[in-house]
Amino acid sequence: MNTQTLVGLVVGLLVLFGAGYFILSNDSDSMTKGDAAMGNESMEKADGDEMMEGDTDTGAMVDEGDTSMIQKGTYESYAPEKLTLAKSGKVVLFFHADWCPICRALEADIKAGTTPIPEGVHILKVAYDTATELKQKYGVTYQHTFVQVDAEGKALAKWGDATTLAGALAKIQ
């Protein structure tokens, strides 16, 4: 093997390992603490009252026992009992996958707070990779799908073409 071939091989390997490291480090950084620890369909902590990282920027959590008041809009982990928020507001399920670039961009947009979530709108983050029953129920076939539901979980609207929070909010009925 000549010197040029050897140098080319070493440079190629360094580039490959560098790219792999970059991809892996970005994947782990993009996950919230709850996502990394749980990995289950509900993605909520055991006591159910914990907020996802960044929730304080986009809205307040709603006490599940008091859904009579319309609160500032929220972005939080899905849990079936949170559908009752639709009695006094609007609930939208966001089928999110950590590996999806559109989902990541949407979540970053939501957490940035440049477009605030309106009062009474509650976006519930659903783990696309593990929410098999919900995907079947709502006919969700790809990540970054939004489904607006009523308090009983009946679908009111479904869309998957939003790439920004403003685009998603514009589709809410």
Can you give the CATH number for the domain in which 85 is found?
A: 3.40.30.10
Q: Are residues 59 and 10 in the same domain?
A: no
**How many domains does the chain contain in total?**
2
Q: Are residues 25 and 45 in the same domain?
A: no
What is the pLDDT, as a whole number, of residue 37? 32
Q: Are residues 142 and 82 in the same domain?
A: yes
- Domain of 7 in residue numbering reads as 3-30
| pLDDT in single tens digits along all 173 residues of the chain | 666 665 556 555 555 555 444 444 444 333 333 333 333 333 333 333 333 433 433 343 333 444 434 348 999 999 999 999 999 999 999 999 999 999 999 999 999 888 899 999 999 999 999 999 999 999 999 999 999 999 999 999 999 999 999 999 999 99
What is the pLDDT, as a whole number, of residue 115? 86
Q: Are residues 78 and 47 in the same domain?
A: yes
What is the pLDDT, as a whole number, of residue 14? 54
Residue 136 makes CB contacts below 8 A (sequence gap 6+) with none
Q: Are residues 141 and 57 in the same domain?
A: yes
What is the pLDDT, as a whole number, of residue 5? 66
Q: Are residues 18 and 80 in the same domain?
A: no
Task: Measure the CA–CA gap between 163 and 26, rounded to whole angstroms.
Answer: 20
| 158 located within any domain | yes
What is the pLDDT, as a whole number, of residue 113? 84
What is the pLDDT, as a whole number, of residue 34? 35
pTM (2 d.p.): 0.60
What is the pLDDT, as a whole number, of residue 68? 38
Q: 130 by DSSP, 3-state: which?
A: coil
Q: Are residues 7 and 64 in the same domain?
A: no
What is the pLDDT, as a whole number, of residue 29? 39
Q: Are residues 25 and 44 in the same domain?
A: no
| 35 located within any domain | no
Q: Are residues 160 and 123 in the same domain?
A: yes
Q: Are residues 26 and 47 in the same domain?
A: no
What is the pLDDT, as a whole number, of residue 50? 38
For tokens 């995907």, what's the residue? Answer: 135
Task: Measure the CA–CA gap between 50 and 3, rounded to whole angstroms.
Answer: 58
> Contact at 8 Å (CB) between 147 and 93?
yes
